[in-house]
Amino acid sequence: MAVTEQTPRRCLLVDDDDAMRMLVRLHLEGVDADVVTAASVPAGCELVDAEDPSFAMVVADHRMPGTADGVDLLRHARDRDPATRLVLLSSHFAPETVAAAEALGATVVDKADADRVARLWAAADDGGGPTGPGP
């Protein structure tokens, strides 16, 4: 399916914390993002694989249950489409985590700053979702 004005690209939000997922989703919807959510890395990876065109932005919590984490999900999304904007949410900023996320081109955002995630989406020039570095 080709991207057209009738097919806006969407944002994937993955967080195992229901309340945080709802909070970030509401902030994104407040700037007109079409948000798809998942509660685990495997579910997020399935959505990444199924989305056509690919998600404009993938937002993932760093720490989630299971063997994979948010960085793994962002890597999967980047492998599928290098143009996807990546955001890692975390309240624990270990240097190795930040380095791994930034090596993928991700923006690392404090988990409590849902407004910044919305600003990253809204910073897009074309109205179809973010397409490069942003605030």
Segment 103-126, tens digit of pLDDT:
999 999 999 999 999 999 998 644
The pTM of this model reads 0.86
Segment 47-101, tens digit of pLDDT:
999 998 899 999 999 999 888 999 999 999 999 999 999 999 998 888 999 999 9
From start to end of 1-135, where are the E strands?
Answer: 11-14, 35-38, 57-61, 85-90, 107-110
Rounded CA separation 89/28 (Å): 14
Are 107 and 74 in contact by the 8 Å Cβ rule? The answer is no
Omega before residue 53 within 30° of 0, cis? yes
